[in-house]
């Protein structure tokens, strides 16, 4: 199985801050990396697919980059509705695996 | 707009079989992969397995011996059976559509609302 790790596991930030979350795969997954946002008690929401492509309707303050084993999710100018947990997920091989999540909360 | 809705018993006794159905509306079940994903309370996401519209399946090896996913195209539904459940199987179970994003790329683009399944006597 491909193991996914994320750092940090949690962070505190203020509205307007730039936030960067890192996701690392235990082996190369090319660009087959997706990001999801989940708020407490809610369904995961797709944000980014194939490492750097925004899903329809996702604000442009979200961006993704990376390939191989190292990936980042960046939120420029954090908004109140962005406080949530973010998960990366590899679609390179079976079983599909998710990172443990990064919780972004209010400083 | 595609919508997915899970249904089934919310309480299952230990050693029994968990059975859930996902009903897809607003779109055809054809041409996509249909997955089950679960999330224990306060924890992360775990992919259980998928079924393709052709009927082919693939399961997480950690659960493979206990999982069966099936499809009923006439009802636009797919189902999950998980046998011999224990308290460790208590989780929110989501059904999700996995769509191609081009060139062997796939992502979960539509999710059901999720259903909390508790395993307890």
Three-state SS at B36: strand
CA–CA gap between residue B20 and residue B8 (Å, rounded): 5
The predicted pLDDT at position B102 comes to 79
CA distance B107 to chain A (A): 6
Number of Cα atoms under 13 Å in the Cβ half of residue A69: 7
Task: Spell out the per-residue pLDDT of chain A, length 107, in tens.
Answer: 999 999 999 999 999 999 999 999 999 999 999 999 999 999 999 999 999 999 999 999 999 999 999 999 999 999 999 999 999 999 999 999 999 999 999 88
Tell me if chain B has a CB within 8 Å of the CB of A67: no
The predicted pLDDT at position A106 comes to 87
Chain-chain contact of B108 with A36 (C-beta, under 8 angstroms): yes
What distance separates the 2 farthest-apart alpha carbons in chain A?
38
Query: A67-93 b/e with 16+ CB inside 10 Å = b?
Result: eeeebbbebeebeeebbbbbbbbbbbe
CA–CA gap between residue B70 and residue A61 (Å, rounded): 40
Residue carrying the six token digits 């590899």: A90
CA–CA gap between residue A74 and residue A51 (Å, rounded): 12
The predicted pLDDT at position B104 comes to 76
Tell me if chain A has a CB within 8 Å of the CB of B107: yes
Report the DSSP beta bridge partners of residue B51: B34, B57
CA distance B96 to chain A (A): 10
Contact A3, A57 (CB under 8 A): no
For B29-104, strand residue ranges (E) read: 33-39, 46-52, 57-59, 67-72, 77-82, 91-102
Three-state SS at A97: strand
> What tens digit of pLDDT does each residue of B88-120 get?
999 999 999 999 887 778 999 999 999 999 999
The predicted pLDDT at position B42 comes to 95
Contact A52, A33 (CB under 8 A): no
The predicted pLDDT at position B120 comes to 97
Tell me if chain A has a CB within 8 Å of the CB of B35: yes
Number of other residues whose CB lies within 10 A of the CB of residue A94? 15
CA–CA gap between residue B20 and residue B110 (Å, rounded): 17
pLDDT-flagged residues of chain B (< 70) = none
> What tens digit of pLDDT does each residue of A67-89 get?
999 999 999 999 999 999 999 99
Tell me if chain A has a CB within 8 Å of the CB of B105: yes
The predicted pLDDT at position B16 comes to 98
Identify all chain B residues contacting A96, using CB atoms and an 8 Å cutoff.
35, 47
What 8-state DSSP symbol labels residue A55? P
Residue carrying the six token digits 């695996």: A97
Chain-chain contact of A44 with B105 (C-beta, under 8 angstroms): no
């Amino acid at each position: 199985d491909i193991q996914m790790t994320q750092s940090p596991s949690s962070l505190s930030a203020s509205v307007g801050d730039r936030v960067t979350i890192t996701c690392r795969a235990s082996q190369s997954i090319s660009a087959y990396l997706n990001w999801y946002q989940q708020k407490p008690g809610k369904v995961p929401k797709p944000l980014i697919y194939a490492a750097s492509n925004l899903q329809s309707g996702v604000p442009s303050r979200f961006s993704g980059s990376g390939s191989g084993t190292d990936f980042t999710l960046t939120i420029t100018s954090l908004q109140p509705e962005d406080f949530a947990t973010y998960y990366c997920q590899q679609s390179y091989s079976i079983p599909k695996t998710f990172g443990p999540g990064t919780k972004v909360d209010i400083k | 707009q595609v919508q997915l809705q899970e249904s089934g018993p919310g309480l299952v006794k230990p050693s029994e079989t968990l059975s859930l159905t996902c009903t897809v509306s607003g779109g055809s079940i054809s041409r996509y992969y249909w997955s089950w994903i679960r999330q224990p309370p306060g924890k992360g996401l775990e992919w259980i397995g998928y079924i393709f519209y052709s009927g082919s399946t693939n399961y997480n090896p950690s659960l493979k011996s206990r999982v069966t996913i099936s499809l009923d195209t006439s009802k636009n539904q797919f189902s999950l059976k998980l046998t011999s459940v224990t308290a460790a199987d208590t989780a929110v179970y989501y059904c999700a559509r996995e769509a191609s994003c081009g060139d062997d790329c796939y992502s979960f683009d539509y999710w059901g609302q999720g259903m909390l399944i508790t395993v307890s006597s």
